[in-house]
A and B are shown apart, each in its own frame.
Chain A
């Protein structure tokens, strides 16, 4: 923590070159968020409506809604995640290359929704780190687009060049102890650091 590079990057008087690089990289990333639509249930239909002609997610750079996780940046979990499906969802998340973000669309993905039952994961953040939650059952496509715009603002605040020189601590394994309270699965670390 005492090296010249680290003390210059990410602090308020960070190097001019670093912050300009950050802005450039963030600008590129936020305006080309290719979604990985994990359309599980009813929110999947509203997701299709959002990709459709009226709401048109492609205007915001999300042109290529590929279904292969290897080619995507933003995983939109749209619908109820069950324990049977959880493994597949986690595998898909792991298959996505960095940088990646997760949008929990709808209340089922955010917190289990109206399904407090034996089969439903009570919020996708129990198994994945989520960047932005969109409530609604299902949320209007406008609401999800608003969420993506907020996510773009969040991406603007990141510092990718800092990542280059000091990788984040998020990769260290957690303890494996895990309670049912929501949001406790979120990683430690401030907003702006990306794994």
Chain B
């Protein structure tokens, strides 16, 4: 199956066992609300906890503080106008969500994306994966006290933002993907800049690792914390690095390849124990592998210069502006697509491997211009659901490590 790198399990010193309730020190239980506004909940998540001293007896996550009614909006907006809404689902990796939605539309309409567009999409997906993992690293590190990591990872993110700003016109929430390809092609200068960044990136990952991986405090706070076994993960429906942390080699890029991933040369890291430390190692290695894929994508883009970046299917893809102003048929196509683009009747589900797990879209069409149903299968929702399973019985200070390592973004949890 997939080539994988397993990390040797280093046993931690035992301690932090659940407390004995016959002890007269345990009088009352404390109800603590880690409210929707909190620096360490990674968004507007509310955790209603019952504590016995420092031990978490029970934990109930309350979500919905960022529920914006996207799925309902899709039903009145129509297929094309929903693209900006997809950016803002998992807002740390906007292009990945765009591509997931575009792929679902292409599955429903049964159209194929040209090769150069696929290579561009792979490049953008892997850059998004790097962006998302940098946020994970920066925010989890600062929550656990390693403040310098926040500034270091955000410096790298700023560099990516500058690249995306130059290419797509906006730093984040780019909405640069269309059904049938990518909005505009990449030129040599832009590709060279991206290559320069990616070439320098693995050295930066080494810097991050040098600060954390061998660090006794980081190890002590993450090793044996939040253990999710394979049975737990499959029971809870987890995917992505949370599933791979326990040793299961499941990555949609290898198992159900899309966008040509079967032709790229990369490894999928897996952990051993399934604790926060393993998930951290998995994500660090994924960043390196993403950089590796980016280089291959850039090489292919250099080779396929002049290829199509958007399918020329006038049922779904807008014609170029100059053609609209000079040709009658193209004007009619433009009008038809903008006002009344219909997709064939039926249901389609399409998913891809996002930085948090399996991101999927279930689209149901009744043949009209508005979706009958547009459902986002968000991996973050299941990651939040996993919190009580791993936090109950642990100390309260482990909660911050657990929240960080399960890695969810409330935009996609709540939609």
Contact = CB atoms under 8 A, between A and B. Distances in A.
A137 B154 contact: no
Interface residues of A, number: 32
B68 interface: yes
B346 interface: no
A52 B68 contact: no
Contacts of B84: 114
Interface string B119-162: 00000000000000001000000000000001100110110010
B36 interface: yes
Interface string A89-128: 1001000000000000000000000111111100000000
Task: Give the interface size class of chain B.
Answer: 35 or more
B205 interface: no
A115 B73 contact: yes
A118 B69 contact: yes
A120 B172 contact: no
B77 to A, nearest CB: 9
Interface stretch (B37-45, B180-188, B224-232): B37-45
B172 A88 contact: no
Given A42-B411, A44-B43, A49-B157, A117 B69 contact: yes
Contacts of A41: 43-44, 66, 88, 91, 410-411
Interface string B167-195: 00001110000000000000000000000
B38 A67 contact: yes
B65 interface: yes
B254 to A, nearest CB: 30
B260 interface: no
A159 interface: no
A80 B64 CA distance: 12
B110 to A, nearest CB: 30
B68 A45 contact: no
A84 B171 contact: no
Q: Tell me whether chain B's interface is mostly helix, strand or loop, or mixed.
A: loop
Interface in A61-93: 67, 79-80, 82, 84-85, 88-89, 92
A82 B67 contact: yes
Contacts of B67: 82, 84, 119
Contacts of A188: none
Most buried by A among B44, B151, B154, B158: B44
B72 A117 contact: yes
A38 B87 CA distance: 21
B85 A114 contact: yes
B154 A42 contact: no
Contacts of B367: none
B91 to A, nearest CB: 4
B344 interface: no
Contacts of B92: 45
B72 A53 contact: no
A67 B36 CA distance: 12
Contact of B36 (A42, A54, A85, A140): A85
Most buried by A among B64, B154, B161: B154
Interface string B208-241: 0000000000000000000000000000000000
Nearest to A56: B151
Nearest to A85: B65
Nearest to B91: A42
A46 interface: yes
A48 interface: yes
Given A44-B43, A85-B44, A54 B69 contact: no
Given A49-B157, A120-B68, 6 more contacts: A42-B87, A53-B155, A54-B155, A114-B85, A117-B72, A138-B173
23 contacts: A41-B44, A41-B411, A42-B87, A42-B91, A42-B172, A42-B411, A49-B157, A49-B158, A52-B151, A67-B37, A67-B39, A79-B66, A80-B68, A82-B66, A85-B65, A88-B37, A89-B37, A115-B69, A115-B70, A116-B73, A117-B68, A120-B69, A138-B173
Interface of B: 35-39, 43-44, 64-70, 72-73, 84-85, 87-88, 91-92, 135, 150-151, 154-155, 157-158, 161, 171-173, 410-411
The 9 closest A-B pairs by CB, nearest first: A117-B69, A42-B91, A52-B154, A85-B65, A67-B39, A54-B158, A119-B69, A115-B68, A53-B151
